[in-house]
């Protein structure tokens, strides 16, 4: 599916994502260098924090407790915050829009 990703500077890029892989891995492969993903995707670093467009947020799987713990530590938490490593891309996410959150 195609995912639209906006950098911290406001530049939106088209990312051709692969289903079955995390959104974090897809964004990194798509050249979104602001997504560091330092912990490798185990919901412990918070460097894959994104904001999900409001009309997409409720269509994603719910936040689990380890993701919630990390997001709660962020100074930049918003109601539409997610850790992109905890979102598995599926074909249903065609057109998903996310923005990279500021660095903590």
Shortest distance (Å) from residue 63 CB to ligand FES? 12
Q: Given the complex with ligand FES, which of 28 and 93 has the nearer CB atom? A: 28
Q: Which is nearer to ligand FES, 39 or 97 (CB)?
A: 39
Nearest by Cα to 68 from 48, 88, 44: 44
Question: Interface residues with ligand FES (CB under 6 A)?
Answer: 24, 37-39, 41, 43-48, 70, 83, 85
Nearer to ligand FES, 44 or 80 (CB): 44
Q: Least CB distance from residue 67 to ligand FES, whole Å?
A: 8
Tokens at residue 88, please?
Answer: 């598995």
In the complex, the smallest distance separating the C-beta of residue 71 from ligand FES, rounded to whole angstroms, is 9
> Can you read off the two tokens belonging to residue 48?
């894959």
């Amino acid at each position: 599916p195609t995912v639209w990703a906006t950098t911290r500077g406001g530049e939106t890029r088209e990312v051709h994502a692969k289903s079955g892989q995390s959104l974090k891995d897809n964004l990194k492969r798509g050249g979104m260098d602001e997504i560091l993903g330092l912990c490798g995707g185990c919901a412990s670093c918070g460097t894959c924090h994104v904001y999900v467009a409001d009309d997409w947020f409720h269509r994603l799987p719910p936040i689990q407790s380890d993701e919630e713990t990390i997001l709660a530590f962020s100074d930049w938490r918003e109601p539409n915050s997610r850790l992109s490593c905890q979102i598995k891309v599926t074909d249903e996410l065609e057109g998903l829009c996310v923005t990279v959150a500021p660095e903590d």
